[in-house]
Amino acid sequence: MVSLPVSTLITSTPDRSSHLNEQHTSLWQNSQFRIYLGTTAFTGTATAMQQLLLSWLLVGILLLPADQVGMIQALIGLPGIVLMLWGGASADRTDARSFLLKVYAVAWLFPLALFGMTEIGLLNIWTVSLFGIVMSTAISFSSPAQQAILNRVVGTEVQRGVTAATAVGFIVQMLGLILAGQMEIVGVANILLIQSVSLVLGALTVMKIAPLPIARRNNKSSTFDSMLDGFRASYKNKNIFHTLIITFTSGVFNAGAFMTALPFIVKRVYDGDALGLATIMIVFYAGATISNIIQFRVMPLEKPGLWFLIMQFTRIFIIYLVWIQPEWWVLMAVLFVWGLNMGVTTNLSRAIMQEASEPEYLARVLSVYTLGMMGSMPVGALVIGFIIEGFGTMNAMLPAMFISAAVCIYGFAFTDLSKYISPSFKAD
């Protein structure tokens, strides 16, 4: 799937090849970018652990029904959705590095608190839900600032910088899943301690990033007005706006199915455990990692929007193969291909956001983008949870197939995304 753009988008002329090699080398010589990747590695590990921890605590340990799990996951995601816009506005109005440091300086206390609750026998629906809410809030606050920092440390090499950071994110995602998958072997408490330490190391790494210039010099407007400016800037640029619409719509049923349906598929259909869920999620993110490594070698792409839409269409066949309930080893192969697909769509949508946004609105546009991605998850969790209990576990995959077809048609018929040209090529 991902090999399609390789033959059509690599230019064979020596000048172009030399130019790409120079860009590739200069990016890795950038010490601030390497430090940024270190921050991504430590905090990404903690975030990945959170994903599996929360799902299996609700599904595999507390043994809650799917509709209740969906409701809890939706409620957990809501505060973060609101605060994410505030985080984006704050990151544009202050030094994004200092803002990120403050968030991580507090976030490590949350898994430590649940560790304490576990040790005294208070691991229940209330403590797990509160843990999910505060961690979701921390992730929502940190995400726009972290992405804004990336744009400022890579300079003009946005596509490659985004791809490299995304690849590292997927690699540590697998590491986090491997660690969290051991919770039934080493104990939930020990996994929470590891998560807390990862966030501490992330905060220490952020301290090594040099103070960054503030993109927005005029700070007279209120935070609320700044948040509205992010929406206005996102709507004004139609390539950004349509990418947001497709990302959110697709995420409701695709990300919703992955986050809510997959744990129940493992538990109910394949009679699996936490390690089984971790295994197929690792396979998924391995596919995403490989797709980003390939993309890094071929980027910048001239028409990222075109391939973003094509990948939406190919996902129909992937979801279908999950829906027919294949053998376990086939399911893992399909999840690997799904990861390849997600690695492309996530990376290209982020690249379009980073490239097309005006610098002074960057963090706020990214917060709106992350809002669309993360906001789709609680909505999807709520809907998918009711579908699982009402129509069966595997049938929760059906809406994703129809939505993938719909957003692809929308993208080609009603937007100019397929014609979007990367600024890297316009400069040439």
**Digits of tens for pLDDT over the chain (428 positions)?**
333 333 333 333 344 444 444 444 567 777 888 888 888 889 988 988 887 888 888 888 888 888 888 888 878 877 766 666 666 666 666 677 888 888 899 999 999 999 999 999 888 999 999 999 889 888 877 877 787 788 778 766 766 787 788 778 778 878 888 888 888 888 888 999 999 999 999 999 988 888 766 555 445 555 567 667 778 888 888 999 999 999 989 888 888 778 788 888 998 899 888 888 888 888 998 898 898 888 878 777 888 899 999 999 999 999 999 999 999 999 999 999 999 998 889 889 988 888 888 877 777 787 788 777 777 877 887 888 888 888 888 998 999 999 999 999 999 999 999 998 887 776 54
Secondary structure class of 121 (helix, strand, coil)? coil
Give the chain's length.
Answer: 428
Of 260, 292, 254, which Cα lies nearest the Cα of 373?
254
371 exposed, middle or buried (CB, 10 Å; 0-12, 13-18, 19+)? Answer: buried
How much of the chain is in helix, strand and coil states, percent to nearest 5? 85, 0, 15
Query: How many Å apart are CA 391 and CA 413, to the nearest integer?
Result: 32
Distances (CA, A) of 15 to 24, 111, 154, 299, 421: 14, 51, 22, 15, 20
In this prediction the pTM is 0.68
76 exposed, middle or buried (CB, 10 Å; 0-12, 13-18, 19+)? Answer: buried
CATH number of 25-212+222-427: 1.20.1250.20
Virtual torsion, Cα 177, 56, 131, 362, nearest 10 deg = 50
Of 142, 143, 149, 147, which Cα lies nearest the Cα of 212?
149
Query: How many Å apart are CA 315 and CA 302, to the nearest integer?
Result: 22
Virtual torsion, Cα 368, 373, 378, 380, nearest 10 deg = 130
Neighbours of 317 (CB within 10 A): 14
Question: HEC profile for 291-319?
Answer: HHHHHHHHCCCCCHHHHHHHHHHHHHHHH
Query: How many Å apart are CA 337 and CA 339, to the nearest integer?
Result: 5
Query: How many Å apart are CA 216 and CA 226, to the nearest integer?
Result: 10
Which pLDDT value is given to residue 3?
A: 37
CA 207 to chain centre: 23
Which pLDDT value is given to residue 410?
A: 94
Domain boundaries, the chain: 25-212+222-427
Distances (CA, A) of 130 to 48, 57, 133, 142, 273: 18, 13, 5, 19, 24
354 exposed, middle or buried (CB, 10 Å; 0-12, 13-18, 19+)? Answer: buried
Which pLDDT value is given to residue 425?
A: 74
69 contacts 54 by C-beta, under 8 angstroms: no
